[in-house]
Chains A and B, each alone.
Chain A
Amino acid sequence: MPAFPKKWLWVVLILAFGLPLLGPVFPDVISNYRLFLVSTMIIAAIAVLGLNLLTGFNGQISLGHGAFYAVGAYTAAILMDKLNVPYYATLPAAAVVCFVVGYLFGQPALKLEGHYLALATFALALSVPQILKYKWLEDLTGGVQGIVLNKPEVPFDLPLNEDQWLYYYCLVTMVVLFWAANNMLNSRSGRAMMAIRDHYMAADTMGINTARYKTVTFGISAAYTGIAGALSASAIAFVAPDSFNIFLSIKFLIGLVVGGVGSLVGSVVGGIFYVLVDNSAQAISTYIKNDLGLQFDLSAYTIFGLLLIILMYLMPQGIVGGVYILVRRLRRG
């Protein structure tokens, strides 16, 4: 997988941090709603990165990352709702809780590979809403009703509005998390993770503690996705069990496959992509129903499903990998 050129990274970062400040100059282009949309894309990118660490870099398939997202979101929501913990302190808490949950789930997952791990995580994804509605947890989780929260408040009297502040909050979190992931992947541990993916037995023979690496990777991956969940709880200011259904996990899978399995930049592309399609599908659906008068509820999942299948044939490397191969081919002439 290609490394993203450093100078472009700086350009993107400066644009990402600078553009929202130009809001008053171009009020039509940079609206608060769009900033909020970009914030959800950032959250999506972090969640997809979590899945990518596990599936893309360590080769363990998970169809159930919605579960860790839910754990992160609920940890944050309960802390804020019951204990009045400030929103920024919920991120490390969600990370720790999700790491533990992921690490524990990684223990039985050690015995499973390929299809079977996919099945176990698929089962997990299906039962998440029910687990969240469990009667004994009702006092904490609010049952079917969920928990209503407050949006993050702007600190230090900064001249920002809520959406702008949320955007920066998410952006900084994402930059830190991607920087950490990049460093980890370029270290001895990261190479061990990828060695396990590429050839389990060879990695084992080389003296890598495969069991520990696999479970810890499961934990780290869950922590990343959990942080995304905690961010989303703050951003949407609401959590409810039925929003963490199997289709949430499918969205992460979409992000993973579209962006590129085993690519950091791909996680960002994938996250942006699924939020974008999700939003435009609603618009297209209303257009079909109201303007064309057809009784056809186009759902984003039709597009997602078709894309999943088509991409597996045409660009198994995802869009980032596919574009890279295309550029290389063009350069060669």
Chain B
Amino acid sequence: MEQLLEQLASGLANGAIYACVALALVMIYVSTDHLNFAQGEMAMFSTYISWQLMNWGLNFWVAFILAVLASFVLGVIIERVILRPLHNAPVLSVVVVFIGLLAICNSMAGAIWSYLIKEFPSPFPKSTFGFAGVIGPHQLGVVVVTLVVLGLLFLFFRYTPLGLAMRAAAQNPQMARLVGVRVDWMLALGWGLAAAIGAVAGIMVAHIVYLDPNMMSGILLYAFAAALVGGIGNPGGAVVGGFIVGVLENMVAYVGNMIEKTTGVYIIGNGEKLTVALIIVIFVLTVKPAGIFGRVVVKRV
């Protein structure tokens, strides 16, 4: 039972990370209909920026904020420079550009900071407390930070004029333009925000998975699974999907572990995490492409 709770808690902590990355993916998807295959590598790059800043002697939280801001700016620049000209390009071109971006981020991080695995500090105190043993301080911190970020985003989109303008630009670009919203800039801002959220996720998860240029590939896959489970056009769904997928991932490993212990037959374990994500992705895409909370889009032909 203890072990089950432990797995559940660690699943929720992972789920918080997946929720963040999934939300970043959904933000870009709703405004441009693109799936950003480079989201994970962008987040990884941001994490390296924060590591570099800390290495230069900055405090964790200062480095965190600076790295998130830098990611925001980079995201805006990427949208304006690289993706803007592809607005009406065929799907293949867009996918190819995203893959190019992925390759550049990955290899540049390796080139600048080397491919050696680095330790990443945790900002949260190591002290033990009430639920010690079930949930570690870092995991709890991750959940709190991501929930705060998600809450801030919700407030931003719900209660500020800029948030409203961004939602309008995503939902109906033509009408938004007619009422004076600068749709182009809203898209760029959306990209910046997505990059910033990704950076938060990267910096939070780096302590758990360690820092290396390939650290986000598995997380990105789970984030895609989360976004699909929640319904790829639905930000709230993406967050819930993130937690569902995070818990599911750990439960699968737990159940596999139990089966091996009781019957001695190995079926599934920690080594098959990506395969589980692959199965979730293909299952949701083929069986229920709208996800749990998504609406089925009917196209007039």
Contacts and interface: CB of A to CB of B under 8 A. Distances in A.
A51 B70 CA distance: 37
B82 interface: yes
B96 A123 contact: no
Interface in B61-97: 82, 85-86, 89, 91-97
A298 B35 contact: no
A93 B133 CA distance: 52
A25 B255 CA distance: 66
B207 interface: no
A305 B107 contact: yes
Contact of A302 (B108, B224, B285): B108
Interface stretch (A130-138, A159-167, A215-223): A130-138
Contacts of A306: 100, 104
Given A115-B95, A119-B35, A135 B111 contact: no
B86 A304 contact: no
Interface in A95-126: 108, 111-112, 114-116, 118-120, 122-124, 126
Contact of A123 (B115, B281, B286, B289): B281
Please classify how large the interface on chain A is, using the bins under 10, 10 to 19, 20 to 34, 35 or more: 35 or more
Interface stretch (A6-14, A31-39, A186-194, A308-316): A308-316
A134 B274 CA distance: 11
Nearest to A114: B91
Contact of A305 (B91, B95, B102, B115): B102
B234 interface: no
A126 B221 contact: yes
B82 A309 contact: yes
A126 B111 contact: no
Contacts of B33: 115
B3 to A, nearest CB: 21
Given A122-B37, A297-B114, A301-B107, A130 B97 contact: no
Given A136-B266, A297-B111, A127 B221 contact: yes
Contacts of A313: 85
Interface in B26-51: 33-35, 37
Nearest to B115: A297
A299 B37 contact: no
B301 A299 contact: no
A119 B94 CA distance: 13
B101 interface: yes
B275 A131 contact: yes
A116 B287 CA distance: 13
B272 A134 contact: yes
B273 A253 contact: no
Contacts of A16: none
B103 to A, nearest CB: 3
Nearest to A285: B111
Nearest to B37: A122
B159 to A, nearest CB: 32
B286 A301 contact: no
Contacts of A250: 99, 102-103
Given A123-B281, A127-B277, A312-B96, A298 B104 contact: no
A307 B107 CA distance: 14
For chain B, what secondary structure do more than half of its interface residues adopt (helix, strand, loop), or is it mixed?
helix
B208 interface: no
Interface string A131-170: 1011110000000000000000000000000000000000
B112 interface: yes
A120 B281 contact: yes
Nearest to B93: A312
A333 B221 CA distance: 51
B14 to A, nearest CB: 17
Contacts of B180: none
B271 interface: yes
| Central interface residue in A108, A250, A300, A305, by most chain B CB within 10 Å | A305
A253 to B, nearest CB: 6
Contact of A63 (B89, B95, B224): B95
A61 interface: yes
A246 interface: yes
Interface in B203-240: 217-218, 221, 224
A170 B95 CA distance: 31
Top 4 A-B pairs, shortest CB-CB distance: A308-B100, A305-B104, A305-B103, A301-B107
Given A134-B272, A134-B275, A312-B89, 11 more contacts: A63-B37, A108-B282, A118-B35, A119-B285, A133-B271, A135-B271, A246-B217, A297-B110, A301-B107, A305-B104, A306-B104
5 contacts: A111-B285, A123-B281, A124-B278, A126-B217, A301-B107
Interface of B: 33-35, 37, 82, 85-86, 89, 91-97, 99-108, 110-112, 114-115, 217-218, 221, 224, 266, 269, 271-275, 277-278, 281-282, 285-286, 289, 301
Interface of A: 55, 61, 63, 108, 111-112, 114-116, 118-120, 122-124, 126-127, 130-131, 133-136, 201, 246-247, 250, 253, 257, 261, 295-302, 304-309, 312-313, 316
